Amino acid sequence: MSTPTEELPPDSSSVTVTRDGDWFVAIDEATDVASQGRTRPEALANLAEALELHHGGGEDIEDADTFLATGLDIDAGELDTREPRWPA
């Protein structure tokens, strides 16, 4: 069995990785930030990026509708604006 060589997030003691079907899910238990990937290293890399954003990395979104349209090709007018059925 080989040993993974990917870099772990700074406090990797709180990170768990589980398999869910074809996906690996990585969760930082300290912050409840989660991400996924097709491989364990990809899930951990995606988690590291999500943690960076969680801790203040990235840029603020000034206009959500413009960001959705240009960044994600989503028409905000077509989104369902109902409240979710589950508690937040």
For domain 12-78, the CATH class is alpha beta
Each residue's pLDDT tens digit, 44-65: 999 998 988 888 766 777 887 8
Burial class (CB in 10 A: 0-12, 13-18, 19+), 9: buried
69 closest CA partner among 58, 81, 60, 78: 78
Q: Indicate the pTM of the whole model.
A: 0.54
The pLDDT of residue 10 is 54
Q: Which residues contact 36 (CB under 8 A, 6 or more apart)?
A: 20, 23, 24, 25, 26, 43, 46
Beta strands 33-37 and 15-20: pairing type?
A: unpaired
Domain boundaries, the chain: 12-78
The tokens describing 24, both together, are 């690996």
* Mean per-residue pLDDT of the chain: 78
